[in-house]
Amino acid sequence: MFSGIFELLRKALRKPPRVLLGRLSRELRAEADRYFAPRRAEALNERVLLQNTHASTLPELWDRLASRPYAVEILPHRVDREDILEKAGRAMSHRIELLGSGPKSLGKRIDWHTDFKTGHSWPSTYFRGIDYNNPERSSDVKVPWELSRMQWLIPVAQAFRLTQNERYAAFITETIDDWIANNPYASSVNWACTMEPAMRILTWTYLFHACSSSIAWRDAAFQFRFLRALYLHADFTERYLERSDVNGNHFTANAAALVFAGLFFETGKAPARWLQMGWAELCDELPRQVFSDGVDFEGSVAYHRLVYELFQFPALYRERRGLVTPSEYRQRLCAMEGFIRAFTRPDGSVPLWGDADDARALPVLSAHPQELPQGIESSAFPIGGFYIMRNGSDHVFIDCGPVGMLGRGGHGHNDCLAFEAVLNGAHLVADCGAYVYTASYMERNRFRSTAYHNTPQIDGVEMNRFVSPDNLWNLRDEAFPETRLWQTGATHDQFQGTHSGYIKLRNPVRPLRTIVLDHNRHALFIHDTFEGAGEHAFEIPIHLAPGVIAHPESSDRVRLLAPDSGGEIREFILSWSATADWTLHVEAGRCSPSYGVAIPIVRLAFRRQGVPRPLSVVFTPADTAADTTWIERFINSR
């Protein structure tokens, strides 16, 4: 217990005084709200709500809100009617699938406070008194949180717009009413993190604009309950902003929600304040959280997409209301989109890089994924630290960037110099993903460890050491990246980089990795050397993508069978050249393609004990594997 208190004190003392004072002020207010929160909610009766929004009657307010443009189109441009109706049918039967749960039937009434994957429930009490991490249990608070974001209702709303069948709209009113009744203001686990009510603001405003004209949503009693709850969500978000000295996607979600709430209600002192405050924070945070090359500083592909939406949708909402987006804001969004286009593969898939919890701001816009990467060439994002080699059928994603959150870790992993590779249309090498967060501290740390990434590890040491086993969101900032070479050309792309993660060893060592993509042969060459001396244990893992089968054929050759995006099996040869006693071990590995899911894969591990020696490996399509002259020329040129 005392070690935990000392760790909190140590972290607190490193923060600037203004941050400490702000935190103290918020803590005192939160404790006072333990007694005043129920009164705040009770005070917002219909008369006060109308007064706060400058409306004479509830129908007048409702019609005014419904008449205003929304941030996004309710239906995507290309509608798969059968898919929407099928998803809506599952939702209306309470057959829910989220966060790796598989299809689950939640019964007639949803228990909003329970992790239905494990059965653990959190109490219905003031949010400040709820311990939702539960390190001694396998429960995952993200399950009730994700359920309560209600994005699974979006297909139901879309089904209503497609069919005008009232049963869809009625189902949504019943579900929202049930949630409101079982989650009083500030008094359940679904209020325990401000990002959760913030994300509900986005979903509920979308559901409103999809269904407000329905008969079910014209019931005056429901209209008041819904608008009152939405107003309280904005009030809560403003009171409990997740502000820190270094803000991340939680704070961005808070600010985005305030913009949404401000534009939704629009009229009145509080909505005007929410809009002004939220937009000011977004404008301040965008250049802080997103590097000038367009890469989000959290070091995660999945969170890059989420953060892009959290910055983008409020800007779209404002523009639809006739408000101007500053050019520098728009340019940074365009840079973020440029990174998305670059990391999206020819088949529309994306690398499993850093943390991923499948989160989206509003999963309703659906540009076809294969439209995103068309015409994109190899590109570098040197500030964010990502390098992407690509052509029409090859895609190699390389990390030579800092640990996330400006050196704190956050959603970044120990993955510097790691890579993913698609060759000749087949996904060969994969990152292992993230798997889970608080559901298992041990698994959380495994999946963000060096050993779970395609990068050299020395003496079994983490390139960025963990702060402690129970600190799931921080890493020590030790592996400072350095890019030494980046060249692109019509026939070859070449990268070379290193990091300082192992200079902390008694005999310091720097891994130096060179990666070359041959565009014509669809071949990939990886050359690892080590700058330093002394005896060490070296391991260089390569995690094969899901579905790839490895057949060792000789002491320096493995045949790989990999399905391409169309299901056709393509054959590759993995060969290697070593100047010392490197040995290959074919092992069982794991990959997490989405949150809560872990599947078996093949892990190849090159190991040796001794002084530093280089290792060269090459992936080549089987029908061109005999042509190794280009490899020999490259090695001789080193």
Strand order, beta sheet including 615-621: 481-487, 492-499, 509-518, 523-532, 615-621, 569-578, 557-563, 549-554
**How many percent of the chain have pLDDT more than 90?**
85
574: which strand partners? 558, 619
By the 10 Å C-beta count (0-12 exposed, 13-18 middle, 19+ buried), 326 is classed as exposed
514: which strand partners? 496, 527
What was the pLDDT predicted at 616? 95
- What are the tens digits of pLDDT across the range 426-463? 999 999 999 999 999 999 999 999 999 999 999 999 99
Contacts for 461-469 with beta carbons within 8 Å, 24 or more apart? 461/501, 461/502, 461/504, 461/505, 462/414, 462/501, 463/414, 463/416, 463/499, 463/501, 463/502, 464/403, 464/409, 464/414, 464/501, 467/409, 468/7, 469/441, 469/442, 469/445
Give the 3-state DSSP-derived string for 26-73, with helices as H, strands as E and coil as C. HHHHHHHHHHHHHHHHHHCCHHHHHHHCCCCCHHHHHHHHHCCCCCCC
What was the pLDDT predicted at 92? 98
Provide, for the chain, the percentages of residues in helix, strand and coil under a 3-state DSSP scheme, each rounded to the nearest 5: 40, 20, 40
Q: How confident is the model at residue 13 (pLDDT cuts 50, 70, 90)?
A: low
What was the pLDDT predicted at 565? 87
Q: Are strands 114-115 and 120-121 parallel, antiparallel or unpaired?
A: antiparallel
Asked whether the beta carbons of 164 and 94 are under 8 A apart, the reply is no
HSE-CB for 575 with a 13 A CA cutoff: 15
- Give the residue among 95, 98, 120 at the shortest CA–CA distance from 108: 95
Pairwise CA distance, residues 523 & 593, whole Å: 25
Would you state the structure tokens that stand for residue 135, as one six-digit string? 């390190």
What was the pLDDT predicted at 21? 73
Pairwise CA distance, residues 269 & 249, whole Å: 27
Q: Phi, psi at residue 392, to the nearest 5°?
A: -65, -20
- Give the residue among 433, 367, 417 at the shortest CA–CA distance from 526: 417
What was the pLDDT predicted at 583? 94
Asked whether the beta carbons of 399 and 417 are under 8 A apart, the reply is yes
Pairwise CA distance, residues 505 & 450, whole Å: 16
Pairwise CA distance, residues 178 & 568, whole Å: 48
What was the pLDDT predicted at 12? 58
Q: How confident is the model at residue 202 (pLDDT cuts 50, 70, 90)?
A: very high
How far out from the chain centre does Cα 638 lie? 38
Would you state the structure tokens that stand for residue 343, as one six-digit string? 């990391």
Residue 607 has pLDDT above 70, yes or no: yes
Pairwise CA distance, residues 313 & 306, whole Å: 11
Q: Phi, psi at residue 188, to the nearest 5°?
A: -165, 175
Contacts of 295 (CB under 8 A, 6+ apart): 304, 336, 339, 381, 383, 384, 385, 386, 401
Amino acid at 216: A
Task: Between 180 and 8, name the one with better pLDDT.
Answer: 180
Asked whether the beta carbons of 363 and 72 are under 8 A apart, the reply is no
Q: What is the mean pLDDT of the chain?
A: 93
Pairwise CA distance, residues 322 & 174, whole Å: 34
DSSP state, 326?
Answer: P
Mean pLDDT of 24-44: 82
By the 10 Å C-beta count (0-12 exposed, 13-18 middle, 19+ buried), 52 is classed as middle
Pairwise CA distance, residues 388 & 527, whole Å: 17
Q: How confident is the model at residue 32 (pLDDT cuts 50, 70, 90)?
A: confident
547 backbone φψ class: left, alpha, beta (φ>0; ψ -120 to 50): left
- What are the tens digits of pLDDT across the range 543-560? 999 999 999 998 889 999
Mean pLDDT of 560-585: 91
Mean pLDDT of 72-100: 93
Residue 35 has pLDDT above 90, yes or no: no
Listed by start position, the domains of the chain span 1-31, 379-637
Q: Phi, psi at residue 502, to the nearest 5°?
A: -120, 15
Asked whether the beta carbons of 207 and 157 are under 8 A apart, the reply is yes
DSSP state, 128?
Answer: G
Pairwise CA distance, residues 349 & 295, whole Å: 18
Looking up tokens 């005192």 gives: 28
Residue 580 has pLDDT above 80, yes or no: no
CB atoms within 10 A of CB 587: 12
End-to-end CA distance of the chain: 54
Looking up tokens 């993995």 gives: 574
Would you state the structure tokens that stand for residue 134, as one six-digit string? 């539960």
DSSP states of 576-601: EEESS--EEEEEEEEE-SSTT--EEE
Asked whether the beta carbons of 114 and 121 are under 8 A apart, the reply is yes
What was the pLDDT predicted at 628? 62
Mean pLDDT of 396-402: 97
Looking up tokens 């078996």 gives: 600
Give the 3-state DSSP-derived string for 56-125, with helices as H, strands as E and coil as C. CCHHHHHHHHHCCCCCCCCCCCCCCHHHHHHHHHHHHCCEECCCCCCCEECCCCCCCCEECCCCEECCCC
**How many percent of the chain have pLDDT more than 70?**
93
Domain 379-637 has CATH 2.60.120.430: no
